[in-house]
Amino acid sequence: MIKTLTDVKADMSDLYEQVKSGACDLKLAAELANITGKYLKAVQLEFAREVFTANKGAAVKELGHDA
C-alpha cells in the first residue's frame, strides 16, 4: 500500500505520541522514523524531477532557444 503524505504525517504523529507515552520501543521508533525519512526523500526527489521537467522548456526559451 502506498501512503500519501497525509498518511505519513498521521503515522509520525501517532508514533510521536506512542514514544512520548512510553508505549513504543525507542529502537523501533527510530527505525520507523528512518524509513519515513527515506520515503519522504523519495517523494522529494520525485517532486523535484516534476518541477525540473515542467520548467525545462521555459528555461531553454529564456536563453533564446526554441524548445
For residues 67 and 6, give the distance between their C-alpha atoms in angstroms, rounded to a whole number.
Answer: 36
d(Cα 44, Cα 3) in Å, to the nearest integer?
Answer: 14
φ, ψ dihedrals at 27, nearest 5°: -65, -45
pLDDT value at position 1? 82
The predicted structure's pLDDT at residue 60: 56
Q: How many CB atoms lie within 10 A of CB 5?
A: 10
Q: Report the percent of the chain where pLDDT is more than 70.
A: 84
Cell of 8: 505519513
The predicted structure's pLDDT at residue 59: 61
Question: pLDDT tens across 20-41, in order?
Answer: 999 999 999 999 999 999 999 9
Whole-angstrom Cα distance, residue 54 to residue 36? 27
Average pLDDT over residues 43-64: 79
